Amino acid sequence: MITAADYFLNIKKELIAYYSAKDLSSIHFVGLDCSLTSTGFSVINNNKQVYGCEIGSKYYSGKRLWDLSIQVIRKIEQYPNSLILMENYSFNARNTNSLTGLAEFGGCLKMLFHKRGLKYLLVAPTTLKKYIYKGSFKKAMMPFFVNKKFGLEIIGPDHADAVGLAFLGYNAFRFAKDMKLYYTVKEIECFNTILSLSGKPKTNKKTNRQLALELTT
């Protein structure tokens, strides 16, 4: 009898194989940082952000969950062939009331994803922070590190989280298609984590930007 863990692992493998075989320029990578007050939303296509915002609601309780969920779904459905990178719950959070609300919101979204046939991958908060910088910093610093890494001008931390998730997805699949590409050691470790890859950092640990500068000087 197949276990729940094996079931979800098989689904993840099928999803990764499906998107890895596609032309990345045809995929919209959607970053989603769930929050009951300000949900971060970002869409990356061909290594560029094509849309980004923070989603809120004027309602409360169950109506708030429904309103936020429908807003998210409607935005995602504007971008065909989407793959969603959703930040997973912070299980070490001290505010259990906040975690409970996020779990309810996440459950609503996953149910709607299933009903609409939308595919998603969960990303641990620690993996996202490790990809963006060094893995340990306050959420308020996320816009600074995201802007520095991707050359953007994001203001809100929730939007910045979503941008980081979307770029993480895009670059992870880019690396999966060609493991000869140069990324930093920490970046490749993050790719391996979310896609269950076995890629190894190249012995030359310079970033693409460093290599490009050397080639043009």
The CATH code of the domain that includes 51 is 3.30.420.10
Model confidence over 74-90: pLDDT tens digits? Answer: 999 999 999 999 999 88
Determine the straight-line distance between the first and last CA of the chain, rounded to whole angstroms: 60
Q: How far is CA 110 from CA 49, 140, 147, 173, 183, in A?
A: 24, 27, 29, 22, 31
The answer to the question of residue 10 being in a domain is no
The answer to the question of residue 70 being in a domain is yes
The answer to the question of residue 191 being in a domain is no
Model confidence over 107-164: pLDDT tens digits? Answer: 999 999 999 999 999 999 999 999 999 878 899 999 999 999 999 999 999 999 999 9
Phi-psi region of 216 (alpha: psi -120 to 50; beta: other; left: phi over 0): alpha
Query: Which ranges of the chain would DSSP assign to H, the alpha helix?
Result: 4-20, 61-76, 96-116, 125-132, 142-150, 157-177, 185-195, 208-215
What pTM does this model have?
0.88
Domain of 65, in residue numbers: 22-179
DSSP states along 38-77? -EEEEEEETTEEEEEEEE--S--HHHHHHHHHHHHHHHHT
Q: What's the rounded Cα separation, in Å, for the pair 190 and 154?
A: 22
The answer to the question of residue 188 being in a domain is no
Give how many domains the chain has, as a whole number.
1
